Amino acid sequence: MNQINYLFKPKSVAIIGASRIPGKVGNIILMNYLNEGYPGKIFLVNKNADSIMGMRSYRRVTEIKERIDSAVIAVPAEVVPAVMEDCGKAGVRSVVVVSGGFSEIGKTDLQDQIAGIAKKYGMALIGPNCLGIMDSRSRINTLFLPSYKLAKPRVGGVSFIAQSGAVGSVILDMIAGEGFGLSKFVSYGNAAGLDETDLIDYLMEDEETKVIVIYVEGIKNGRKFISMANKFKGKKPVVILKAGRTEAGSKAAHSHTASLAGNYQTNEAVFRQFGFTIANDLSDLLYFAKIFESEGEPKGNRIGIITNGGGVGVLTTDAISSSKGITLGELSKKTAEDLRKVMPVLVNIRNPLDLAGDADDKRYHDAISMMMEDPQIDMLVVIILFQTPGGDSRLASELVNMKISSDKPMVALSIGSAYTEMHKMMMEESGLPVYDSPRSVALSLEALLSFYQFRKGC
């Protein structure tokens, strides 16, 4: 675990295969470190250069006479073993091999060779055939993806593990659009060294990680995985998307990262046994991550709905009523009486509570305050259609303020294009999770409740 920490919190990094040529992997990685403002020491290694972008370049990592906590290797596959040996001799503590050309194309001997070198010298190894790692707080970024092509997530509590670099890059981009925060990102590829079990194990103990989100094509070591999952059962929310569910998908996974996908039903049974939240697609993965980062334990399963659009309120009622574990709450007599005193005559006092199309920030404030105080409501869904006359920035600000002062889970549902998206980002960046469909709201509330019920039973 100490060696893994050098991957995420290194005080010095060597970029082996650094390049001055724009578009080259070694150049993109170097630029990412510089653009992120990495505060530690950066050493460049390129056998054909004495300097790169005004920085000294070494021919071999063994020429560097200072401590190196981590090395990023971006050289052709056949050269990697020799470079790994140099890293071991130089006392490098952790290594990220982004290079491809190993077991994913049948060169298992070459992959076994670098795994053996890492083990011999006690180096934590990520890869090969991966994007590597990103840490929002220490500003580590080994991803060979140009920064201008990806939106940058804010710093937060979600850590993401992806066996696939492609899926990982898409998720990173989508996270920024969803407005919740990233702690760490790991694309571990062929898992010659550290695998998904090692990484979950580390993140379970990581104080900066509140939620662990995983995309996996195959579990490398089933016994080790079960042992780890049992040790940390219910400690943190774990959201998992398992690919290779079908025979065709399993074959595709093997050709992608040399992963044995295994029987999906068996994997799913194990995940459920240890309280993992199972996502069925990338959208679910994001929906669940969002609610776990922003919300705590609900007191019960009764949902209150407030809306300024009756039809969307009905659709949300249907989605909640069709879900497992959650149900529509019934307003208490006191709440109904208090609401009747302040609401216009045209508002029917019931759950879902339709505030009408002219509802403004004050009407929402009154409704949310009273339903939050209702002992028969455990979680609240607030629907805001920004296409209505009262749907504006004042309303968005009011909802954020109400969320901050609330001791019950509260999520928003808002559907629309540019104007809606602008306010959605405003609310999410302030800690209010916003969803774009009744289905996504219902699934997320169901997942939140299910995890905390599981934790109570542990």
Give 245-291 pLDDT, tens digit per residue.
Answer: 655 545 554 444 444 445 778 889 999 999 999 999 999 999 999 99
* pLDDT higher than 90, residue 39: yes
* pLDDT score of 149: 80
pLDDT digit string (tens) for 191-247?
Answer: 999 999 999 999 999 999 999 999 998 898 999 999 999 999 999 999 999 987 655
* pLDDT score of 2: 79
d(CA 152, CA 154): 6
* pLDDT score of 393: 95
Q: Tell me, yes or no, if the two domains 1-129+137-147 and 296-457 fold the same way.
A: yes
* pLDDT higher than 50, residue 108: yes
d(CA 34, CA 152): 15
CATH class of 150-294: alpha beta
* pLDDT score of 263: 72
Per the listing, tokens 């569910």 go with 245
Among candidates 372, 195, 220, 365, which has minimal Cα distance to 298? Answer: 372
By DSSP bridging, strand 327-328 and strand 379-383 are: unpaired
Sign of CA dihedral 189, 8, 292, 196: positive
Strand order in the sheet with 155-162: 140-141, 132-135, 182-187, 155-162, 211-216, 238-242, 277-278
Among candidates 408, 416, 409, 418, which has minimal Cα distance to 437? Answer: 416
pLDDT digit string (tens) for 430-455?
Answer: 999 999 999 999 999 999 999 999 99
d(CA 5, CA 98): 19
- Domain ranges within the chain, ordered by starting residue: 1-129+137-147, 150-294, 296-457
* pLDDT higher than 90, residue 19: yes
- Structurally, what CATH architecture does the domain formed by 1-129+137-147 represent? 3-Layer(aba) Sandwich (3.40)
Q: Tell me which of 160 and 168 has the higher pLDDT.
A: 160
- The CATH number for 296-457, chosen from 3.40.50.261, 3.40.50.1970, 3.40.470.10, 2.60.40.420, is 3.40.50.261
DSSP state of 61: G
* pLDDT score of 265: 85
Q: Are 162 and 218 in contact (CB under 8 A)?
A: no
Cβ neighbours of residue 107 closer than 8 Å, sequence gap 6 or more: 77, 101
